[in-house]
Amino acid sequence: MLLELSVSLKGRHEPANDPSVDMNRIIGASGLHYETTNKGAVLEGSWEQLMAVAKKCHDEVLKKNDRFTTLMKAVDDAGAAVPPAPICGGNEPEVVLEDDGEWMMM
């Protein structure tokens, strides 16, 4: 199974700390195969392993930030391997959490 994971800070008063530093530390210590992308990271593992790492990343960012979005996209394919960084301009819709808390499809 593959999991694309990213965290982005929200709001006008964003702190100076970068959530990717903590995420990279946690992901690197997980022992799972992963690749970083310009939007986050793509990890390979079982559902339980991936959700445990995602929770650790989310909880660590929560310690230092009160408003952020954790985005996850999972692919469950026995033959899948961690893909290269995605190419922009695909046909898949992107889900975005706006600052007012409403989900919308773009």
- CATH (domain of 35): 3.30.70.930
Please give the residue that has the higher pLDDT: either 67 or 6.
6
Q: How confident is the model at residue 37 (pLDDT cuts 50, 70, 90)?
A: confident
Three-class DSSP category at 47: helix
Assess if residue 15 is contained within a domain: yes
User: At CA 99, angle to CA 98 and CA 103, rounded to 5?
Assistant: 30
Give the structural domain span for 22.
Answer: 2-78+92-105
pLDDT of residue 46 exceeding 80, the answer is: yes
For the residues 10-38, what does the mean pLDDT come to?
82
